[in-house]
Structure formats: C-alpha cells, structure tokens
Amino acid sequence: MKIQASGCYYHSGKLAVATCSKCGVGICRDCAVKNNQGIMLCYPCGNEQLKEEHKQYRKQLSEHGGRFNKISELVIPTIIGILIIVAKIVAEHYGIITQSDNGLTYIAVSYLLFTIPFGFVVLEDLIAPKYDSLANIVNRYCMMLLGAFFIGWIVFPYALIKFFINNIMLKQ
Ligand SMILES: [Zn+2]
Ligand SMILES: [Zn+2]
C-alpha cells in the first residue's frame, strides 16, 4: 500500500511538492517529472508512460515498413556523418588528434566515424527514452554513441540497400 503523506514517497526526509497524477503518491522536486502534456508524474509512472509511447512509436514505424524508407532518414545521418569527418580533419590539422600513417586505417576509421549517426538512429528506435538525472542522461548518450560506433558500419550499407530496394526497384 502506498501511503500518502506530506513527505516524498521515494525520499522519506524530503517534502512533497506535488502528487503523481497517475499513482497519487507525494513527490519531491527530484522525483517529479512533467510529461509532454504538462502533467506531473513520479519517475516510475513517467518512465512507464515513455515506455508505452515508445512501444506505440515502434509499432507505427514497423507498420510503415521500418526505418530507412524515406530520403530524409538517409540525408540527416549523412550530413551529421560528414560533419564528424570535417571535425576529425580539423582536429588533425590542429594536431589535437594524430593522423594515421596507414592509408587503409585512415579510411577505415573515417568510415566508422561517418556511420555513427546511422547506428545512433537504429539505437534510438530500439531503446525507449527515460526520465533521469542529467548525469545519467549524459552517460546514456555516451553509451549509445559507443554502441552506434560498433553497429554503424553495418547499418549504413543496410540502410542504402533497403532504401534502394524500396524506392527504386519496387517503384518501377
Ligand atoms: Zn506515479
Ligand atoms: Zn523524492
């Protein structure tokens, strides 16, 4: 049973500033989140809602044939990928990072960096967002970027092939 009191349900020592609109417990400033509709919720209820919304989003996405069907889904990651490469070239120019002497390594690293945004798009589709502390959100994004680095190189050719089949071959 959840006890309604003037204290936060999750932090017994803290004063409640609001009540969760869904489960009704008292919540302190640290535990309160405002959803997209501006309704005050506690963290667990807020995250539950985000998870549900993400599920709906994924369902809609798959009903529309999944990711990488529209040109915009290719253009935006491509632009970001190019910007990453430009940043790399600038960093090399100013000696912030050292340029690889090996041509093949240079191309491979450039390709891996270029494909990060493509991997990121896929991870964003897979992982439901979450209300969290700023440190945890930053940490989460860093982990997603790392993950994108590992999957981007295979996502990119997949995206190109899928786009080609759906928009060029099947439309003829
Ligand atoms: Zn709640
Ligand atoms: Zn609290």
User: What pLDDT shows up at residue 126?
Assistant: 94
Spacing, Cα 136 to ligand 2 middle (Å): 17
Give the pLDDT mean for 134-142.
94
**Tens-place pLDDT, residues 6-52:** 789 999 889 999 999 999 999 999 899 999 899 999 999 999 999 99
Instruction: Identify the CA nearest to 127 among candidates 57, 76, 79.
Output: 57
Question: Hey, is 95 helix, strand or coil?
Answer: coil
What is the Cα–Cα distance from 88 to 73, expressed in whole angstroms?
23
What is the Cα–Cα distance from 18 to 42, expressed in whole angstroms?
9
User: What pLDDT shows up at residue 6?
Assistant: 79
What is the Cα–Cα distance from 104 to 110, expressed in whole angstroms?
10
Closest ligand to the CA of 48: 1
**Tens-place pLDDT, residues 40-83:** 999 999 999 999 999 999 999 999 889 998 888 999 999 999 99
> What percent of the chain stands above pLDDT 90?
77
| pTM (global) more than 0.75 | yes
Instruction: Identify the CA nearest to 160 among candidates 40, 78, 48, 47.
Output: 78
- The distance in angstroms from the start CA to the end CA of the chain is 62
Spacing, Cα 31 to ligand 1 middle (Å): 9
**Tens-place pLDDT, residues 76-133:** 999 999 999 999 999 999 989 888 788 899 999 999 999 999 999 999 999 999 998 8
Q: Nearest 5°: CA angle at 57, between 53 and 61?
A: 170
Spacing, Cα 5 to ligand 1 middle (Å): 14
Spacing, Cα 4 to ligand 1 middle (Å): 12
User: What pLDDT shows up at residue 172?
Assistant: 66
Lookup result for tokens 């190189």: 153
